[in-house]
Amino acid sequence: WQAIENGTGNTQYSGQVTLGTSGSSGSYNLTDSARGNHKTYNLNRGTSGTGTLFSGADDIWGNGSATNTETAAADAHYGAAETWDFYKNVMGRSGIRGDGVGAYSRVHYGNNYVNAFWSDSCFCMTYGDGSGNAAPLTSLDVAAHEMTHGVTSNTANLNYSGESGGLNEATSDIFAAGVEFYSDTAEDPGDYLVGEKIDINGDGTPLRYMDEPSKDGASKDYWYSGIGSVDVHYSSGPANHFFYLLSEGSGAKTVNGVSYNSPTSDGLPVTGIGRDKALQIWYKALTTKFTSTTNYAAARTGTLAVAGELYGTTSAEYTAVANAWAGINVGT
């Protein structure tokens, strides 16, 4: 038995945060007993197994720099905790499977590894240290994106190819934005960008933009017949764009200090209903309407059905869902 403790994380991307840890005076470890015993392990540049559970005498983790081994652990542990809390407190879901059981995170995967991933087989998240082992892929939105792959696997189970694969990817980006707005630290305020903290492009630009996905140079803004044959990280674009339009509406808007300008395929305006309602609609569709083969047309049908159930078919919310899909060229 180990007491529930509150440690201090000095993260690279989210500033100083409180971490759920375990242990007692002189001997602590990264086991979050308040969140299904989610643990964070050190792979120490290995690529298999679990490595070693992060442990230490002082319950202070990391120093904000990637050169400190504990820093990536602090970020990953924090990301898992915020994602857990978002699903629990906003969606009423306890853990990835909804059974209250935590997963685990592995940091320092490989050497100069520029990716992070969820695995169904280990029920775990894994993070590389990025270019030069200096930019671990452990930002809050990346952690929430990967953990959401676990939620998707255990709910709609959207096939990771074709249009359903794009919807799977978009689901991870949508809830990553939800978690970031939920956490909303001064160091990493909520936004409709993905991976803006990890500088994966080396020029300070984010990995993805939800207001106008094509700004990344590869993602699609609008659905078209044949989009199912592009990489799932780019066919996600229209669904990310749908979510932005439904939340904030089309046109120019500044949210939390970030400026967006979201176009529509038909040039017609869309009025947003706010992020909180948009998140609820997507979550309920994911968990009660979507299946492994849901495509864009079926996602439209599913979210409209949910909007009807939640708000009625004559509601502004229902109309906004229809208009946001029309704005990305679905159902017109």
Which of the residues are catalytic? 146, 233
CB of 84 to ligand ASN, least distance (A): 18
CB of 219 to Zn ion, least distance (A): 13
Contacts of 217 (CB under 8 A, 6+ apart): none
- Binding-residue pattern over the window 148 to 187 for Zn ion, x denoting contact by CB under 5 A: ------------------------x---------------
Alpha-carbon distance of 215 to 11, in angstroms, equals 29
Helix (H, G, I), strand (E, B) or coil at 224: coil
Among 17, 73, 80, 116, binds ligand ASN (CB under 6 A): 116
Question: Segment 210-249, which members bind ligand ASN (CB under 6 A)?
Answer: 233
**Binds 141: which of ligand ASN, Zn ion, none (CB < 5-8 Å by kind):** none
- 103-129 per-residue burial string, b: 16 or more CB within 10 A, e: under 16: bbbbbbbbeebeebebeeeebbbbbbb
Half-sphere exposure of residue 62, counting CA atoms within 13 Å on the CB side? 29
CB of 218 to ligand ASN, least distance (A): 14
Range in contact with ligand ASN (rule: CB under 6 A) among 26-34, 111-119, 202-210, 324-332: 111-119
Range in contact with ligand ASN (rule: CB under 6 A) among 9-17, 60-68, 142-150, 273-281: 142-150
Site for Zn ion contains 219 (CB under 5 A): no
Token pair 């992060």 in the structure block, residue: 54
Site for ligand ASN contains 115 (CB under 6 A): yes
Site for ligand ASN contains 146 (CB under 6 A): yes
Alpha-carbon distance of 240 to 183, in angstroms, equals 20
CB of 8 to ligand ASN, least distance (A): 28
Strand order in the sheet with 27-29: 55-56, 27-29, 16-24, 4-10, 60-61
CB of 149 to Zn ion, least distance (A): 6
The DSSP-derived string for 47-103 is -SS--EE-EESSSEE--SSTTSHHHHHHHHHHHHHHHHHHHHHTT---STTSSS---
Strand partners, 83: none
List residues binding Zn ion (CB under 5 A). Answer: 172
List residues binding ligand ASN (CB under 6 A). Answer: 115-117, 145-146, 149, 169, 233
